[in-house]
Amino acid sequence: MIWSLSDIQMLGSIHDLVSVDPTNPYIKACYKGDGMTITVYTSNKVVLQGNNVSQWLDHHPSIAKLVEHQSSNDTSIISTFPQAGSDEVGTGDVFGPVVVSAVYVDSTMLDQLKNLKIDDSKVIDDQTILSIVPTIMSICPYSVLVVDNPKYNTMHQKYNLNALKAILHNHAYVKLKEKIHTLPPLCVVDQFTPEASYYRYLNGQTNIIHGLTFKTKAEHQFLSVACASLIARYTFLKAMDQLSEQLDIPLHKGAGKLVDQDIETIIERYGFTMLHHVAKLHFANIEKVRTNHA
């Protein structure tokens, strides 16, 4: 995030930060605290990193407020690293899997990620996603879970959609933890249900990741969530391509009129039961044709 000059000057007067000499010409100032570093770039971009950032912000409400305020403005991505984030896609699409991803980002990865211009994830089109995501995958440790349609349809009989999402996000963090051994203090879920409900849905699960942070529209505020959203979307797009190829029908995303046409074509060519394998059966699009074919 970019800070104002007076905000940056305030950093110099904080008693538990020590000013250290910048290590490269793009760094204007650098402050070290216990288990954390604050770097001020010549662009006035400020990056907070280290394992104690969250605790430190608890003791410095004025800075925390600044971080919060900056992150609520859509154009900035919260700069507290390391961080992990998770997001899901496919829940609003009749065809194709539900995909959940969790991604770890630390400050050593920022320069490489910056070149990909991920900050604008909300406006990134499918073609760009296909071209940049392999690079994100090569930079950041990540986990990705794909729930194909047969599995989704079975699970959906047992769990409601939010319960299903909670189980998947939790599992994505379990998988990410297996890769990086320790999750960072800041792990952000793109919020789909309040925190209390999230953990209630996980009752009975064997391995539950606690201490997550829940934020709505998190993909616009946290680079790790933006990356998770992109990796999930990429995986979803690839799966849709594969299904389209298998059926020899270019399947549409979403749940609109074009999807209704695709459903008719599938039933015509392959019969209703094919929908079990390629579609989410609880959608109204399927319900309205079910009576004629089931």
51 burial (CB, 10 Å; 0-12 / 13-18 / 19+) is middle
**Cβ proximity to Mg ion, 100 vs 278, nearer residue:** 100
Choose between 31 and 234: whose C-beta lies nearer to Mg ion: 234
Show the tokens assigned to 213. 């942070």
Phi, psi (deg, nearest 5) at residue 86: -135, 150
Question: What is the rounded distance in angstroms from the CA atom of residue 203 to the CA atom of residue 43?
Answer: 47
Strand (E) or helix (H) holding 8: helix 5-11
Shortest reach from residue 124's CB to Mg ion, in Å: 15
HEC string of 34-55 equals CCEEEEEECCCEEEEECCCHHH
Q: How many residues bind Mg ion (CB under 5 A)?
A: 2
Residue number, nearest CB to Mg ion: 190
Residue pair 153/280 in contact (Cβ under 8 Å)? The answer is: yes
| Stretch binding Mg ion (CB under 5 A), from 34-42, 85-93, 126-134, 235-243 | 85-93
Cis peptide before 25 (omega within 30 of 0): no
Q: Is 190 in the site for Mg ion (CB under 5 A)?
A: yes
**Cβ at position 90, least distance to Mg ion in Å:** 11
189 φ/ψ angles, rounded to the nearest 5 degrees: -95, 130
Shortest approach of Mg ion to residue 233 CB, angstroms? 10
Can residue 93 be called a binding residue for Mg ion (CB under 5 A)? no
249-268: contacts with Mg ion (CB under 5 A): none
Span near Mg ion by CB under 5 A; candidates 6-14, 142-150, 174-182, 186-194: 186-194
Which candidate, 252, 232, 223, places its Cα nearest to that of 104? 223
Query: Closest approach of Cβ 85 to Mg ion, in Å?
Result: 10
- Identify which of 52, 81, 48 has the alpha carbon closest to the alpha carbon of residue 66: 48
- The piece of 17-25, 82-90, 125-133, 140-148 that touches Mg ion (CB under 5 A) is 82-90
Of 87 and 93, the one with the shorter C-beta distance to Mg ion is 87
Closest approach, Cβ 137 to Mg ion, in A, equals: 19
The verdict on 87 binding Mg ion (CB under 5 A) reads yes
Shortest spacing between CB 221 and Mg ion, in angstroms? 12
Q: Of 42 and 216, which CB lies nearer to Mg ion in the complex structure?
A: 216
Order of all β-strands in the sheet with 83-89: 142-147, 98-105, 83-89, 187-190, 213-215
For Mg ion, the binding residues (CB under 5 A) are: 87, 190
